[in-house]
Amino acid sequence: DLIAPETTLEGFLIVEAGELKCDSKVRALFAASAKAAAVACTGDEAADLSGMLDAMLTETGNSLAPDARDTLLELLGADRVLSRAEVQKLLIYAGPGTTISEADVTAIVGDAAEMVVDDVISAAFTGHVTEALRQGDRAIASGEAPQSVMLAIQRHVLRLHAVRGALDQGRNADAAFKGLRPPAFGKSRDALSAQCRIWSLAAADRALALTHTAIAASRHTGADDRGLCEHLLIDVARLATAGRRT
């Protein structure tokens, strides 16, 4: 398990770790020490989200249609800060004192877990190792399975490979992006364009091979999924860093 000192406060050292198992040696070491303590911080569950939602609705005088409530709770993840931001965005859209419909929810609220995975990919494919690991921990804490994160990385590598390959064949940017399914628009296209400037086709080939190996190990060898995911993030981010330096 990887942990790193985050900050000091009035003589106390606070150490933050990812999700540690009950038999983790690091967790046991802290729990057994007279000078340290291990404090578990769990992600939000349905009851926690429901309570937070009720409190925010009361503040603004809004209400939710039953189907809207079910849909909203499905979209929110275990990250409290991100969930609050999504609900706040919905309340601003609806206006105070209104009844919020399911159509309002689907029009405004994004899939929180999916957005967290997007942050993982953005950090990894721009070469920010520490941030990629931090966002990876956040995604898993929000309920995303490590294998799902690796599959998202694989999908992104395939898109990056397709665009980079088309550009290397002499196509212009519009033609290179035209073949993507699903299409890339707006910020998504801008981010992918920026990544193409630091990723070569050879690097994308290498990332594809690493991703395939990690996913295969996850499925067939019984290896630790979280460890495989972390190593993959490090490898991808290092490939991107090497591209920035060339």
63-64 and 99-100 beta bridge pairing: parallel
Q: CA–CA separation, 150 vs 121, rounded Å?
A: 10
| Cβ–Cβ < 8 Å for 47, 40 | no
Residue 38 to residue 33: CA distance in whole angstroms = 9
Q: CB within 8 A of 234, min separation 6: which ones?
A: 129, 132, 133
Check residue 238 and give its pLDDT.
96
Report for 11-20, 21-30, 99-108: range of highest mean pLDDT = 99-108
**What's the pLDDT at 143?**
76
SS3 193: helix
Distance CA 169, CA 39 (A): 54
CA dihedral 146, 150, 153, 159 (to 10 degrees): -140
Helix (H) or strand (E) run with residue 18 in it: none
Highest mean pLDDT among 25-39, 76-90, 193-207: 193-207
3-class DSSP state of 171 = coil
Beta strands in the chain (DSSP E): 3-9, 12-17, 63-64, 99-100
pTM equals 0.60
pLDDT of residue 246: 64
Residues of the chain above pLDDT 70, percent:
85
- Give the pLDDT band of residue 168 (cuts 50, 70, 90): very high
The mean pLDDT of 181-191, rounded to a whole number, is: 83
Phi–psi pair at 144, nearest 5 degrees: -80, 130
Taking only the tens place, the pLDDT of each residue in 222-243 is: 788 999 999 999 999 999 999 7
